Structure 1
Amino acid sequence: MPFKRPEPPSDSDAVSSSSVTPAEPSQPPRKKSRPSQLGDLLKGVKIFVLQTKLEAPTIAELLFLIERSGAELCKDVKEASVIITAVRMRKRLERHIDWKIAKSKAVVTPDWLRDSVQKKTPMHCGDYAALQDLEGTTEAKCPTESDGETSTASPALSTPPPQRHFQRKSSSPHTPSREPGPSKSATPPPANLLPPDPPYEFNPEDLDYRSRFACMRASPLKCPNQELCEMLDVMRQTREVEGEERSELSYRRAVAVIKSYPTKIKYRREAEKLPYIGTKLISMIEEYLDTGHISEVDSTLASPRFHSLTAFSSIYGIGPKTAQYLYGLGLTTIEQLETYYGVKPSEQGVMLDSEKDARDVMEENWIKVALGLRHDLAIKIPREGVEEIHRVIMAELDEVEPGCVSTVVGGYRRGKTESGDVDIVFTHPNASRTKGLCKRFMKRLYEKGLVTHVMHLSGFHTHNALRTTHWDSLEKALTIFVLPGHTTRRRVDFIFAQPETYWTAVVGWTGSLMFERDLRLWAKQRGLKFDSSGMTRRRDSKHLYPQTEKEVFDILGLPWIDPTMRNADV
């Protein structure tokens, strides 16, 4: 059956999804030897989750525990060795699973997985049989009983359900519920737009660096294997500028995994245990460990084509295909590119009056603008510079619409000491005051000379749950900004969100790229759709409105990760 979100369970037959202590089985579970690592606890065990009669937080918890335990989640019940279900009657089970298939599997309650992870040892399936009619077959088919040998668990690893990982540090008028979900109101204002800083306790050691999802790993700005990551990122860049998307993603995933590895890699076998590290990457890592270099990286860095394509692609409006086309014309340097486009250092842009204007402006014009401003835009912005830009912008915004709140996102929020641009998310507690505010504000900044170019201007769109592109439907302006009394131009992106989607916008624009990509994949696996402009349930397109940033993670069934630990890219 398809893997989808279920209807809410009936009162008579529901399994509790919010108990802090898992329910005890009818008989005490049998003792087994402990595995050496939590990620190997149920390695090789294939699990199918029958979502009928399970609520969303319980499904999130089970998916999280499957990921942590090293088991494999199956979408086809025929491939599974264990079926987890809250159904307790044969007739109800047969509505979803053929009885012959059920008799060939271990059919257990969710407590089997909870207790296995909590006690760090695979529990005996027979003690957790979901149906009385299947007690005998569940005991006989239990995959963790087949060899009688498992490895030993590490006491340093613990796995509480994701909703209970962290508590608020300070008392707050808003306390997230154990079972986060959509607000009852159609467009509720956030209960807490500006939480205390830092709002939540966070311990990176609580996360599993072997997870296949970057949104479940702690990724610091600088990691113990930073030099190795930067070398592998060169290979990622060359695949990107050559338009080899699948290969580029493979390197990006590998870099993200190594970024979260807590200690310096010294031996090949350490890398072999990490996800997304294939044979070719192992050979590169081994070469780096032996020599401190990677020959393919060295040859890439010596390639004139690589340097030309990389330089061209750094210009706003030039993607891989355009860069390759320009290189094919014989252009190899930025100076030649300026001559080709007829660029002058004083090249000026225009103020767009509408989104239609933005579509009508030829891409070539923005390439000329970006080339003309490239020296300014290449200068990194220190943290104090970002804060000054934010202060000036908020003072101006208060003149246009008092009462707005904002968060500086992007690399600044992830802890970077310098930023290439500034991204700011804005909202107002009164939703009616946010519509059209971006356009009004841009006109004011343009008239005052603070914004010299608007490269993209868009208004709000209805959140489309069927949209396949990753470009959100928020009201935004991508601009060139200059501080009063200064001459250096800066890239500043203004993102205006409705109050009910403020925190999804903050999470979505904080990044990093790989973290956000896996966040969307994880949400999809949970039957949800997530992007910066909102969250929806895929089966019925119902909107979900998290009222804090932490609640975004709660609804997705993810452990809280501090923004400074979301640096899954170099």
Structure 2
Amino acid sequence: MSRFFKNWKFYIIDIKIPKDRLDNCKNQIINHGGQLAETIECADVLLTILKTPLRLARYVPETQKPICSIDWVEECQKNGQRVPYDGYLISLNFEKPYETSRSLEKENLGDTIEISQSESSISDERTSESYTDEEQNSDIETVDDLNPHFLNTKYECLRPTPLMPEHNQSLVELLEVLEHSRELNGEGRNALAYRHAISALKVYPCDIKSYKEARKIIGIGPKIGNHIKEFLSKGTIPEAEEIMASEKYQTLDLFSRVYGVGHKTALAWYRKGYRTMRECMKDPYLTHVQRLGLELFDDFQKKMSRRDIQEILNILDKEIKSIYPNCIITPVGGYRRGKEFNGDLDVVISHPQEEVANNLLNVIVEMLLDSGYLKHKLFYGHISAKNKKSIPNALFSFHRNVMDKLDKCFCAFIQPSAQICRQVDLIIAPYSQYPTAVLGWTGEDYAKKEKKMTFASHGLFSNVISRKRIHAISERDVFDILGIPWLEPEMRNC
């Protein structure tokens, strides 16, 4: 047998390559004397099925190594010799999309929270896993073949969604694997499409019985519909099973659970050949937050029960109110939604007096450090009172990452009874913004598109443009809408 790949090392970017074609490509390389490289750095040639530089750039760092279509390997096999690969080369040269203000601000937090290119700048790229045009333009649709008790809408906030579905649980779990895999590989837009479909299936009031029935649910396109069809015929989704068994998925899943690490850093570590936390700790380019995340990994992976969280809340209540008795302390996030176990605790804190609230974060953090409860500050963001007053609400309403406009500290908090570190996020909200800070991002899309309002954690705004300004709904209206007692401004400084 001809060994025309002798001494050549190939790295295969396996995204989107069907399993049978991937296996065939690997066999051809090995049969003709080639080797499969574990990392891009060790390879002579990179192989892919992706055609566009923009998509390829999500998975390949800038490199001088040739990137070829796997068609080239098949052409070599057909000719019985290594043919020139010039006609099969794929260039990474492209005009980089603009960076949004949201992506730039997220970068300031390191890799803790990432916005993928596919979400922030590739809005025109439609994939087979996204909604169809008909589904995108639908609001609420009634279809005879669907269960009559199901609200068929693209707005998840209109349907109460359980943590664990009563029906279609096995199907949902397999789709969650596919969604997580897309997220880990930087395919944010595809992952979002899966999340929409999973949200609908979690609340669907009976088991899905056919592909036709599934496709009539808003949010389930042809690609996800075909996965459901596979599940109905085989009892599983083969791609999900293969992903769960793969070393790459297991490693990326492990790395991405480190505080301060997103899918980009996880992919970078994997490409460097790292497979364990110990290997990652030796990386010379670790940020301070990533190093803390690795050190605290075991503690942060231990879920908190509601009793654990109550213990921490009792400490916060006692410590904070010993100085400021009128402080309002509200747990939010998963705890507020009723989850039995949580990975972290988010707490919104406010005070009726504005001058107190302006310096509240600094006072609380210093007090918790002195008392020994706060071990590490993972992130600290404080906006001065002067800067807060200089930013009008009209500018706030255009800002996508509005939580950055609230003072906050993400910290490692010692739970006394367990003597382990818990991730506790302290968020300080001025009294006027307290209700919307508690409610968070709930129903943002529905409010924006159907009610002509912009909802964000700093306020609720009506999207009425007049003389190039956006008029915010009054403070009192926000309190009334959310059912929170109103306190007159003059009373807040008493």
Structure 2 length normalisation: TM-score?
A: 0.62
Shift of 1:432: 3.2
Residue in structure 2 matching 1:221, options 152, 158, 163: 163
Is 1:289 aligned to residue 232 of structure 2? yes
Q: Distance in 1 between matches of 2:281 and 2:436?
A: 39
Is 1:534 aligned to residue 459 of structure 2? yes
Which residue of structure 1 aligns with residue 401 of structure 2?
469
User: Would the aligned equivalents of 1:478 and 1:494 in 2 still touch at CA under 8 Å?
Assistant: yes
Which residue of structure 2 aligns with residue 391 of structure 1?
314
Shift of 1:366: 0.8
Shift of 1:254: 1.1
> Structure 1 residues 401, 424: CA separation in 2 closer, same or farther (over 3 Å shift)?
same
> Structure 1 residues 432, 533: CA separation in 2 closer, same or farther (over 3 Å shift)?
same
Give the aligned residue type for 1:476. Answer: K
Which residue of structure 2 aligns with residue 491 of structure 1?
423
Is 1:275 aligned to residue 207 of structure 2? no
Shift of 1:551: 1.7
Which residue of structure 2 aligns with residue 307 of structure 1?
250
RMSD of the alignment, in Å?
A: 2.9
Q: Distance in 2 between matches of 1:363 and 1:477?
A: 21
Does the residue aligned with 2:258 lie in a helix, a strand or coil? coil
Q: Distance in 2 between matches of 1:328 and 1:152?
A: 49
Which residue of structure 1 aligns with residue 264 of structure 2?
321
Paired residues for 1:59-458 under 5 Å: 67-68=139-140, 209-223=151-165, 224-340=167-283, 364-458=287-381
Does the residue aligned with 2:181 lie in a helix, a strand or coil? helix
Does the residue aligned with 2:282 lie in a helix, a strand or coil? helix
Q: Distance in 2 between matches of 1:546 and 1:520?
A: 23
Shift of 1:364: 0.6
Q: Distance in 2 between matches of 1:382 and 1:485?
A: 13
Give the aligned residue type for 1:414. Answer: R
Does the residue aligned with 1:536 lie in a helix, a strand or coil? strand
Shift of 1:236: 0.9
Does the residue aligned with 1:542 lie in a helix, a strand or coil? strand
> Structure 1 residues 421, 467: CA separation in 2 closer, same or farther (over 3 Å shift)?
same
Shift of 1:281: 1.1
User: Would the aligned equivalents of 1:482 and 1:489 in 2 still touch at CA under 8 Å?
Assistant: yes
> Structure 1 residues 249, 69: CA separation in 2 closer, same or farther (over 3 Å shift)?
closer
Shift of 1:468: 3.4
> Structure 1 residues 403, 521: CA separation in 2 closer, same or farther (over 3 Å shift)?
same
> Structure 1 residues 550, 320: CA separation in 2 closer, same or farther (over 3 Å shift)?
farther
Q: Distance in 1 between matches of 2:457 and 2:342?
A: 21
Q: Distance in 2 between matches of 1:288 and 1:152?
A: 23
Q: Distance in 1 between matches of 2:376 and 2:413?
A: 8
Q: Distance in 2 between matches of 1:548 and 1:247?
A: 35
What is the total number of aligned residue pairs between the two structures? 334
* Deviation readout 1:49-91 (Å, 9 max, x if unpaired): xxxxxxxxxxxxxxxxx94466xxxxxxxxxxxxxxxxxxxxx
Shift of 1:548: 6.7
Structure 1 residues 322-331 or 544-553, which shifts more? 544-553
Residue in structure 2 matching 1:543, options 468, 472, 477: 472
Shift of 1:403: 1.1
Q: Distance in 1 between matches of 2:243 and 2:312?
A: 38
Give the aligned residue type for 2:481. Answer: E
User: Would the aligned equivalents of 1:209 and 1:262 in 2 still touch at CA under 8 Å?
Assistant: no
* Deviation readout 1:518-539 (Å, 9 max, x if unpaired): 5246425543222112122332
> Structure 1 residues 548, 269: CA separation in 2 closer, same or farther (over 3 Å shift)?
same
Does the residue aligned with 1:422 lie in a helix, a strand or coil? strand
Q: Distance in 1 between matches of 2:349 and 2:286?
A: 27
Q: Which runs of 5+ in 1 are unaligned?
A: 1-43, 48-65, 71-150, 158-204, 342-361, 510-515, 555-570
Q: Distance in 2 between matches of 1:419 and 1:523?
A: 30
> Structure 1 residues 365, 323: CA separation in 2 closer, same or farther (over 3 Å shift)?
same
Give the aligned residue type for 2:271. Answer: G
Q: Which has the higher contact order (CA 8 A, sep 6+)?
A: 1
* Deviation readout 1:91-142 (Å, 9 max, x if unpaired): xxxxxxxxxxxxxxxxxxxxxxxxxxxxxxxxxxxxxxxxxxxxxxxxxxxx
Q: Distance in 2 between matches of 1:217 and 1:550?
A: 23
Shift of 1:552: 4.7
User: Would the aligned equivalents of 1:284 and 1:294 in 2 still touch at CA under 8 Å?
Assistant: yes
Q: Distance in 2 between matches of 1:399 and 1:363?
A: 39
Shift of 1:297: 0.1
Does the residue aligned with 1:482 lie in a helix, a strand or coil? strand
> Structure 1 residues 230, 382: CA separation in 2 closer, same or farther (over 3 Å shift)?
same
Does the residue aligned with 1:262 lie in a helix, a strand or coil? coil
Structure 1 length normalisation: TM-score?
A: 0.54
Q: What is the percent sequence identity of the aligned residues?
A: 30
User: Would the aligned equivalents of 1:472 and 1:531 in 2 still touch at CA under 8 Å?
Assistant: no
Give the aligned residue type for 2:160. Answer: A
